[in-house]
Amino acid sequence: MLSPLFDAIRTNPLLLRQKQPDMIRKLQTQATNTDAQGTGNKVTDQEASFATLLEAHGFVFQPKQTAATAAATTPGKYYNYQVNGSQRSIDFRAFEHDGTTVTRHIDLDLKHTTSDVFFLNDGWFHKDVVYIVTWDRRTSAPRKKKTTEPATLIALGQDIPSPEESACMEELLAIKKKYNTEFKGCGSLCTYIRFANRYKCDRFTPEETERLYGRIAV
């Protein structure tokens, strides 16, 4: 369903770095509700570029206000933006509709960084979510004048971390769950533990990027 779109991005990573002001306005207002206050966070250039690519590949925007009711009744390809709200996964859901029900969907989360690390909104990668990460990969040798090239990772959430990283997060998630369910705070202090974890791009070598992409069935 999304292979042609992904192939286009992999061929030209700059496709996700375009200025798309009209698409930004479209996504920010969720397109159909003139009284809406927008989606919360400002739509990024990366998100607007991705939505533009979706539409160029035949996907039709279905605003969040209608997503819950599966308003699409014409067979075709559609997409939703910020299905679960701003600052929460996922950013996009692309799906096929047979006129009666959704027959297939793919959830996507987009990340862009101007450094070599990016933030994980919910603290960790989600299973069966396709992550699209854009950054500038260093091409120069250590201690040499820094040169970079645009790079993009497209991979499933469960495939990205190493076994050691997954084991570490399982332990931390257990601690988080324990304190958020059992600990009630102190006095007037109401506590809630949230993660603001970051992840480095340095392990996404060209070879690793290719390997991870090869594990996706889209």
Q: 47-96 pLDDT, tens per residue?
A: 999 999 999 999 999 987 655 455 557 899 999 999 887 667 899 999 99
Which pLDDT score is estimated for 218? 63
Q: 17-50 pLDDT, tens per residue?
A: 999 999 999 998 874 444 444 445 789 999 999 9
Q: Is the pTM of this model over 0.95?
A: no
Which pLDDT score is estimated for 36? 46
Q: How many helices (H) and strands (E) does the chain have?
A: 6, 8
DSSP track, 161-195: S-HHHHHHHHHHHHHHHHHHHH---BTTB------
- The rounded mean pLDDT for the chain is 89
Q: 130-168 pLDDT, tens per residue?
A: 999 999 999 998 889 999 999 999 999 999 999 999 999
The tokens 């969907």 sit on which residue? Answer: 105
Cβ within 8 Å of residue 79, ≥6 positions away: 51, 54, 59, 60, 61, 62, 92, 93, 94, 95
